[in-house]
Structure 1
Amino acid sequence: MLLDRIDFDLLRLLRKNARMPNKDLAEKVGVAPSTALERIRRMRESKALLGFHAEIAPEAIGIGLQALVAVRLQQHSRTFVESFQAHLRALPEVLAFYHVAGADDFLVHVGVRDSAHLREFALAAFTERPEVVHIQTHLIFDFHRNTELPAQP
């Protein structure tokens, strides 16, 4: 799907506040409410807009510690990668994961209660997996999600 300036403007506004009423979105980008609604529907159908999410305070749900865990698989084969991805999707402590290039195969963003929980989670979720040969844990002291979109081409 080819996005134009109005689509990008709508996406920028939604990225900052996905609960903004349609009439406000339309007014801010200078189109009729029906036009804004149709454009957003079209972007959702074409998968340019994947969804809307709530940003939750980690402490509110018992997350006292976050970390990025770099994971290296013993072999970068489709079987190992797909098996490990399925494993990660099933773990409630996994907030997000990235399949990456470089020395490591995955970066896994985890949220746990405390350091003891992190230790037990790392042992069970990573080191006991036969496809995993190395992990390195990086504690997250602060996190900020950028609400801006990258510059348009």
Structure 2
Amino acid sequence: MPKNPRVHKPLDATDLALVRLLEQDGRMSNAHLAREVGIAESTCLVRVRGLRDRGVIRGIHADIDPMAVGRPVEAMIAVRFGGHRRSHFEQFTKEVPSLPGVLGAYHVSGAIDYYVHVACPSADELRDFVLDHLTNRPGVLHAETSLIFDAQRGRGTMTRPEDLPGTPA
């Protein structure tokens, strides 16, 4: 049976410290990371590469303001499938996240099957996106669009301070 790629071996204190620092500043240099954690730069490089290879660190990304790049209309689109054929979900999962303007696609439980977060240049282009890229897909039964008036990026972290070395439990 293949291993679940989303199941990871537990992180040790050094790995947790590296992850925490990279959460705070993904552009932190290897030298600074190594100094903060108290390990050699070569060890730090190997550790961070290992975290990437294991899928713990999935990427370092710029947080771009959609309005600043000409996409001021943001929406969350709730997509419901009919029939629930695996091939329809697999095709949707493979193709939709790479469409222009898609900020995220979330396969969820409940009455809705997917939420698709998009940013578009105008309301007309949002309508066209829904019609051209979502409602005409195999298996899609319904799409409901909710405009986003204001969005705040979460400031929470994946690691807890009490998981770090030298922190009282």
TM-score (norm 2): 0.80
Instruction: State the distance in 2 between where 1:50 and 1:90 align.
Output: 16
User: Which structure 2 segments of 5+ residues have no match?
Assistant: 1-8, 164-169
- Greater CA drift, 102-111 or 134-143: 134-143
- Contact 1:18–1:52 (8 Å) recurs in 2: yes
* Cα drift, residue 150 of structure 1: 4.5
Q: Tell me what 2:4 maps to.
A: none
CA separation of 1:46 and 1:94: change in aligned 2, threshold 3 A: same
Matched length: 152
- Contact 2:20–2:159 (8 Å) recurs in 1: no
Q: Tell me what 2:109 maps to.
A: 101
SS in structure 1 at match of 2:99: coil
* Cα drift, residue 147 of structure 1: 5.3
Provide, for residues 58-100 of structure 1, a one-character-per-residue CA deviation record: whole Å limited to 9, x for no partner.
Answer: 1232110111111001121211111222331442121210111
Instruction: State the distance in 2 between where 1:22 and 1:129 align.
Output: 44
User: Which structure 1 segments of 5+ residues have no match?
Assistant: none
Q: 1:32 is matched with which residue: 40, 47, 60?
A: 40
Q: 2:157 is matched with which residue: 145, 148, 152?
A: 148
Q: Tell me what 1:46 maps to.
A: 54
- Contact 2:78–2:115 (8 Å) recurs in 1: yes
- Contact 2:79–2:142 (8 Å) recurs in 1: yes
SS in structure 2 at match of 1:138: strand
Task: Name segments (4+ residues, structure 1) moved above 6 Å.
Answer: none
SS in structure 2 at match of 1:80: helix
- Contact 2:107–2:114 (8 Å) recurs in 1: yes
What is the Cα-based RMSD across aligned positions, in Å? 1.8
Identity %, equivalent residues: 40
Q: Tell me what 2:31 maps to.
A: 23
1:68 aligns with 2:76: yes
Q: How does 1:123-134 map to 2 (within 5 A)?
A: 123-134=131-142
Q: Tell me what 2:91 maps to.
A: 83
